[in-house]
Each structure stands twice: as structure tokens, then as C-alpha cells.
Amino acid sequence: MGKRYLCGLDVEEIGELIKAGGFNHAQAVTVAGMFYKKGVPGLNETTRIPKSLKKYLYDVAQTGIYPPVKSEESADGTKKYLFISPEGKKFETVYIPEGKRKTVCVSTQSGCRMGCPFCVTGGYGFHGNLTARDIVNQVLGIPCHNEVTHVVFMGMGEPLDNPDNVLKAVRIFSAEWGMAISPRNITVSTVGITPAFIRFLRESECNLALSLYSPFSEERAGVVPAEKIYPVREIISIMAACQLSRKRRLSLAYIMIQGVNDTGNHLNELISLTRNTRIRVNLLPYHAVRDDDKRSSSEGRLQFFKHNLVMAGISASVRKSRGEDISAACGLLASGMR
């Protein structure tokens, strides 16, 4: 048998790996913490791991971390990385520095099979789910991984179409034996797959963001095929009924397109849908794709929506776009992956 990859293993799996060498669970916790918080130097330099265990790990395991094959930097400091997994799957990752906040936007699939026409990633097609190792590697494999404070699952793919690997990666990111990133600093974005949505609410304390597009079901179904199977109103009802911990956030991501979903009727329906639910509304500008005649709503229109939502007692914000000049903004990943 070949050596096991440490990247992507949880503490129980590391425990099973070293158990055969006579080592215990407490030592597995130390190995996991050193590896996920400090990388290979943490394993090599710490005195908390005995030399016999270091030698055993060298004999039976390898890191499993692989670097990106390409990177681009935006004028605003955002960096985009292209990874190719050992199995040949291509996917992109975005690093967004903003003051003390350092966010990594990770992908969960190579491409996507949700079929939303306004998203470039969907046009790339579906080339397979990423493993927990591939997802975690998007943080450990970039140069500034030690600075990361936030992780958002908003890259390529639909996270809840790959729930087992996403939940495992979330555990590694948030566990004390892992990277120890607070669950309130981890957000998973989804178009809404009801069974996996409910499972994620139960098995994780991380934030969830539901991509809405339109508050009208028929209109949403025309561009978000998942709506036909998993109606968004049902998911919003689940969100509204969820007993949230004080720091957990459930939100709607509303990409605004001029003359398409930014009318007064859309605003009124959005207010009706979210009033008294504790669901936050994040308003985002639309990023036009190639041969696309649609345009983003103006900044003034986004602010108008925000103002009216807030006046109705709904928490709302306008999100600033980052990395558009290198196709790293929402909906643009995979632009150069043909």
C-alpha cells in the first residue's frame, strides 16, 4: 500500500493511521493541530511529537498538499489560483485580503451541474466533485495560508451537491484540532438542495447563504433549474424556523440585474419574503459574461434596495465586488478554463 495523505484526514482518521504504530488519540490530536495550523514545519519543528512518531509518519504518510499551477493578481490585491488535482480536475481558488480579514474562496467541484445560465462556471460543464483533501488544499496550498481568517464556499461548484466532502472540510477548517477557524467566519453558498440544506444546518454551525436571483418562483426557475425540484420558498421557510445560535448567520445572496430583477415589484416581494425572518439580504452587482447583453443594476439602485429593506426591519448590505479584472468575482470562475 502507498503512503496515506494527511491533508483531508480528520483527527479520527489520523488516529487510526498512527494506532498501528502504537500511538494514541492524544498524539493524533497533536499531529492534526500541528499539521493544519502550521503545515509541515509544524510537524518537523515541534517537540510535542516524539521522534518515534515523526519517523512513523514519514514512513506511512505524506502531506498530500499540492501547489497551484497558475496565479493572477487583481489591481485590488485579490489573487486567483488555478489548481489541478492529482486526478486531473481543474478548479480555481480566490484569496481576498482586506485589512485584517484574509478570505479564501474555495471551490467544491470542477465545474458545476446546476446549469444556471448567468454563471460562467456552469458553462464550463461538470468534471467531478472535489475531495475533502482538494478543498482543504485550497487553503493549505497557497502561499499565505497562515494568514487566513475566513473561508467562503463560493467558488466553482454547488457545495450542497457534494455534501460529504464539504462537511468534512468544514470540520477540518473549524475544529480546534484543525485550523480552528471560527464557524462564524465560514460561509457556504448554495442555490438550495433541500435535503442537503437541512443536513448542513444540523451537522454544522457555519453560515449559509442562499442564492436567490428572484423572489418570484416562476422567474427563478427559468434561470436556476434547482428551483423546479427544491422551491426556494420552502428553503426560506426552513431558514426562518431554524433556531440560530447567537453568532450564526443565514442570508440571501441577491445578484441585481438592471431591468430584470431590480424593479419595485421585486423589491416588494423580497421584503414580503424576508420580513420577520432574521434572514440577512446581501445585494451584489451582476458581472456580465461573454456575449451577454445584461448589465448590473446601478450603485444607486443597489443602495435603494438596501435602504428599503432596512426600513422594513430587514438586515441588508451591499457587497463590494473584488477581482473582476481577473475574472475572480462571483460567477466568473472558469472563464479561462476551456
Number of structural domains (the chain) is 2
Give the integer Cα–Cα distance in Å for 253 and 186: 15
Same domain, 46 and 179: no
- What local confidence, expressed as pLDDT, does residue 41 receive? 75
CA 62/CA 45 separation, integer angstroms? 16
Interval 19-53: pLDDT, tens: 999 999 999 999 999 999 988 777 888 888 999 99
- 50 plus 183 within the same structural domain: no
In a domain, 197, yes or no: yes
Regions in the chain scoring below 70 on pLDDT: 1, 289-290, 323-338
Judgement on whether residues 41 and 74 belong to the same structural domain of the protein? no
- Active-site residue 147, yes or no? no
Do 37 and 141 belong together in one domain? no
| CA distances to 102, 185, 234 from 230, in Å | 33, 27, 7
Q: Examine the domain organization and report whether 304 and 218 are in the same domain.
A: yes
Q: Is residue 334 part of a domain?
A: no
Show the domain range for 89. Answer: 70-326
CB 325 within 8 A of CB 75: yes
Spot the catalytic one: 12, 13, 92, 242: 92
Same domain, 191 and 322: yes
Residues 39 and 133 in one domain: no
Q: Does residue 206 carry a catalytic annotation?
A: no
Q: What stretch of H or E contains 84?
A: strand 79-84
Q: What is the DSSP string of 226-248?
A: GGGTS-HHHHHHHHHH----TT-
| Annotated active-site residue in 105, 116, 119, 330 | 330
